[in-house]
Structure 1
Amino acid sequence: MTNLAIACIVVPDFPLRIESVRHPELDGLPLALTDATAQRRLIVECLPEATAEGIRLGMTVRDAINACPRAVILSADPVYYASVFAEILDALLDVSPGIEQGEPGLAWIDLRGLERLYGGLEGVVERLLGAAPPALRPRLGLGANKFVAAVAARRARPGGYRLVPEVYSRAFLARNPVDVLPVSLEMIRRLERFGLYTLRDIARLPAGKLQAQFGPDGYRAWELANGIDSAPFRPLEPVEQVVERLALPAPTVQIDALLLGVRQLARRICARHAMRSRGARQARIQLLIEGQRSWERVVVFKGAIGDAERLAGLLAGRLAGLTVEGPVEEIALELSGLTTIYARQRQLFESDLRRRRQQDIDEVVDELKQRYSLSPLFSLTPVEPWSRIPERRWGLLARE
């Protein structure tokens, strides 16, 4: 396995592939997914069969049905997709300790030492492909760096692998279209408007011209087109998490019942031994909805939160105004970024007390903004104190 340092495993159209496995009768049909929790139901994922019928990302459901009456449009189930991907990552960690997580359905593997461990290249390939369920049709690419391995994986046949030795990396990349580059869609369109349709076209240009036109992304595109990928390998690190789940007595769509469940989960999770004298910097709240659907949001806190009531208030702000597509069967709460909370003693001096009170007010304002998306508190601010009209002398300024 000379000069093959990285492998990449990929499941194209990962959420849609999972839905095809859950519903075998949909395999081969123009399938698309929509985010049912958004204010406007837009297409967020679609198979090539659906694209060929005229369906595009960002299209409304009504327009998608008009473009392709036989299209099958399902509500996304992000919680289930994440659980399947987590199982794949766990299986890959059993093969190699060096795993880097990419977008859902994509991961890189450090190949150093695996050939001797599994008796050659075929053994390594078999173990890596076996980490994903065969029904998902995973593809494997092996190359000298992450970019070459990722492109090789996407060019492999379903359930197979593609090997690209380092000396052939540039020739292999040359015939690939520019949309394989990890850059924005706008830059891809600009490259095509300049007549640059393949990586060969980019590799022939001087690096300085691309950098002058596109900035750092242009220079990185030139490097990748020439088989140079300086991006470091970032292996997964163990993350301590605390998870609590609550199965509702009866499925419900009432927000008040969901808020009550969230408050109960916050109290239970903060009372656990793992949370003693500790707080979380991030929370993930998940709602499992009838009909194999789900909703989830990640909340990042400015500081560590260890108080149950404050945690419940911040999470309730994310649920306020939520329109649930169907009855919720289960609520899950996951805390991560755990850190120790040290006691803070109030100072005896009046200036310190005044500053502390201001900090308390700021925390309350932050919680209200989380809940209502704007600050409901205002301060009287002098505007034109000299004015004869009382309404012009003072103004209401929202507290931020």
Structure 2
Amino acid sequence: MKLLCVLLPHFPFRCEALRRHDLAGRAVAVAYSLGSRRRLLDFTPGLEGLERDMPLPQALSRHGGLEILHADMPHYWRVWNGVLDALEKVSPLVEGAVLGEAYLGCDGLGLLYPDDDALAAAVRQAVPPGFEAGIGIAGGKFPACLAAAAGPSGGCRAVGNEMDWLKDLPCDLLPVSPKIKARLHDFGLHTMGKVAEIPLFKLEAQFGPEGRRLGELAAGCDSTPLCPRQSEEIIEESTSLPSPSASLDVILMAVESLLYRAFARFNHRGLGMRSVELWSRTSLDEHWQKLVHFKEPAMNCRSAMVRVRQVMECCPQPGPVEELGIKLVRIGRPAGQQDNIFTDTRSDEKLLDDIRQLELKMGAPQLYKMKEVEPWSRIPERRYVLTPLGR
């Protein structure tokens, strides 16, 4: 399958630069929190020695004058979804699971775009101003991505014979662990062409299942399927608090008002939500985000708040909240349930299901029943035993 890859390098930094014009010419690092550790998400183009996901202290040791910005992931994804919407006008098959990296299916577009240059020109017009797009066209995701990264800035590189084009590239470009890359260099396999010359069964014997994968990629064969995004209804609501607050009651009250506003937009159609994404921004520009799933679609705000309250109590905010919002996804109708003709049996099943839910919530059995074990025993304690109800 012929694929086109669109790379927007330094996408998070470009998003910040578009809404803050004073960042031009300054050394900036966009950082995110992973537990108690801070890591580098993106940085100003041209800064040497920096890599994505690098620990922030290590980045500051190499560039002491870095200005730190907190990653605004909801904003980046809003901008990225807008880019994907524009790309879907070029091709109906668009995959964009990673920020700044999109793949388009090119099969069947010959009547609209007679050649690769016309297709690349349409893609460049779909990319918003302020982003430098690299475009690569090949027969798989991996060679198309390398072509987009190696092509001229704002240009397009189309690869005809993937194996001939990849053979002189370094093996460090393979998507494998650093340990395997070091072992490849130890064996004298410094280029992809050298790796492709090794039979697959030998690579698999040396590196396991990952060996076959890197051998196929080095030969230009990437069978990873294209997974286009599915169009679905998404409802977003947000609000700003009058003053930063760390009170959980105040935050829950604001979330509840947002849910009421969201349900008013679709609840009259008999629909419910299966997932809701909660996000907040603190007064120190720190961001918090959590995706909440529902076993059955929540049909009203009251039923949704029960689950939302549990999640927010277990996942505290990083600081006083200044702005918060919700995004409702997977909106649909509830699954039909057929009533049992034997109502007593049905009620017993529902009771046992409620007991299991209570046990999962509390982490231990809460209801027990007496079970006869040794009724003939002379010791009363051995005649009966307490067992969890429902087992």
**Range of TM-score over shorter length:** 0.7 to 0.9
Give the equivalent residue in structure 2 for 1:5.
2
Q: Which deviations, in whole Å up to 9, do the C-alpha atoms of 1:246-293 show, x marking residues without a partner?
A: 444444333221112223333443454357544433221222455766
Pair 1:123-2:123 in alignment: no
Q: Separation in 2 of the partners of 1:124 and 1:101?
A: 18
TM-score by length of 2: 0.81
SS of the residue aligned with 1:52? coil
Pair 1:176-2:169 in alignment: yes
Q: Quote the offset at 1:214 in angstroms.
A: 3.2
Which one of 154, 157, 160 corresponds to residue 162 of structure 1?
157
Give the equivalent residue in structure 2 for 1:217.
210
Which structure 2 residues correspond to residues 64-103 of structure 1 after superposition, within 5 A?
Answer: 64-103=59-98
Pair 1:105-2:93 in alignment: no
SS of the residue aligned with 2:276? strand
Give the equivalent residue in structure 2 for 1:150.
145
Number of paired residues?
Answer: 381
Pair 1:40-2:36 in alignment: yes
Which one of 321, 324, 339 corresponds to residue 330 of structure 1?
324
Pair 1:342-2:350 in alignment: no
Q: Separation in 2 of the partners of 1:175 and 1:109?
A: 26
Which one of 259, 276, 287 corresponds to residue 266 of structure 1?
259
Which one of 53, 73, 86 corresponds to residue 57 of structure 1?
53
Gaps of 5+ in 1: 369-373
Moved more, 149-158 or 305-314: 305-314
Give yes or no for contact 1:380–1:395 (8 Å, CA) kept in 2: yes
Q: Separation in 1 of the partners of 2:25 and 2:194?
A: 35
What is the one-letter code of the residue matched to 1:336?
R
Higher alpha-carbon Rg: 2
Q: Quote the offset at 1:317 in angstroms.
A: 2.7
Q: Quote the offset at 1:25 in angstroms.
A: 4.6
Give the equivalent residue in structure 2 for 1:316.
309
Gaps of 5+ in 2: none
Give yes or no for contact 2:169–2:191 (8 Å, CA) kept in 1: yes
Pair 1:226-2:214 in alignment: no
Give yes or no for contact 1:6–1:145 (8 Å, CA) kept in 2: yes
Q: Which deviations, in whole Å up to 9, do the C-alpha atoms of 1:276-319 show, x marking residues without a partner?
A: 54443322122245576643222333443335333222222332
What is the one-letter code of the residue matched to 2:64?
P
Which structure 2 residues correspond to residues 16-35 of structure 1 after superposition, within 5 A?
Answer: 16-27=13-24, 30-35=27-32
Q: Quote the offset at 1:345 in angstroms.
A: 3.7
Give yes or no for contact 2:13–2:44 (8 Å, CA) kept in 1: no
Identity over the aligned pairs, expressed in percent?
Answer: 26
Q: Separation in 1 of the partners of 2:185 and 2:352?
A: 54
Q: Separation in 2 of the partners of 1:58 and 1:364?
A: 42
Q: Which deviations, in whole Å up to 9, do the C-alpha atoms of 1:98-119 show, x marking residues without a partner?
A: 2222411111112235454245
Distance change in 2, residues 1:205/1:152 (3 Å):
same
SS of the residue aligned with 2:130? helix
Q: Which deviations, in whole Å up to 9, do the C-alpha atoms of 1:354-379 show, x marking residues without a partner?
A: 3311212333455x4xxxxx737656
Give yes or no for contact 2:8–2:133 (8 Å, CA) kept in 1: yes
Give the equivalent residue in structure 1 for 2:196.
203
TM-score by length of 1: 0.79
Which structure 2 residues correspond to residues 270-285 of structure 1 after superposition, within 5 A?
Answer: 270-274=263-267, 276-285=269-278
SS of the residue aligned with 1:125? helix
Q: Separation in 1 of the partners of 2:138 and 2:126?
A: 19
Q: Separation in 2 of the partners of 1:62 and 1:264?
A: 40
